[in-house]
């Protein structure tokens, strides 16, 4: 009963590597946090995804996603500190 939808999802996800999927989740979660108008939540989101990008094994994602993680780990605390509340 669920074989066809799972095969469709599996065939779709096989086109992407783990870094691209994590990047899509980061963009979607950042867009979901924007209506809250909280810079602190966006900063914490950047820190968490920066750590996820840095901890992702090199065999699952290209090296440029690790550099993106390093940048997010540095930018995230700046966003949290610059938040008013």
| SS3 annotation, the chain | CCHHHHHHHHHHHCCCCHHHHHHHHHHHHHHHHHHHCCHHHHHHHHHHHHHHHHHCCCCCCCHHHHHHHHHHHHHHHHHHHHCCC
Mean pLDDT of 8-29: 88
Contact 53, 67 (CB under 8 A): no
Kindly state whether residue 64 falls inside one of the protein's structural domains: yes
Let me know if residue 77 belongs to a domain: yes
Residue 44 counted as domain residue? yes
Count of domains for the chain: 1
Q: Is residue 10 part of a domain?
A: no
- Cβ atoms < 10 Å from Cβ of 20: 14
- Domain enclosing residue 48, as ranges: 17-82
pLDDT digits (tens, 9 = 90+) for 31-81: 999 999 999 999 999 999 999 999 999 888 899 999 999 999 999 999 999
pLDDT classification of 16: cutoffs 50, 70, 90: confident
| 29 domain residue, yes or no | yes
pLDDT at 5: 76
Q: Does residue 3 lie within any of the structural domains?
A: no
């Amino acid at each position: 009963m669920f074989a066809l939808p799972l095969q469709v999802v599996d065939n779709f996800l096989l086109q992407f590597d783990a870094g691209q999927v994590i990047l899509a989740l980061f963009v979607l979660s950042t867009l979901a946090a924007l209506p809250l108008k909280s810079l602190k939540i966006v900063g914490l989101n950047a820190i968490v995804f920066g750590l996820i990008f840095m901890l992702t094994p090199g065999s699952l994602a290209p090296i440029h996603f690790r550099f993106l993680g390093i940048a997010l780990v540095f930018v995230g605390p700046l966003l949290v500190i610059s938040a008013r509340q």
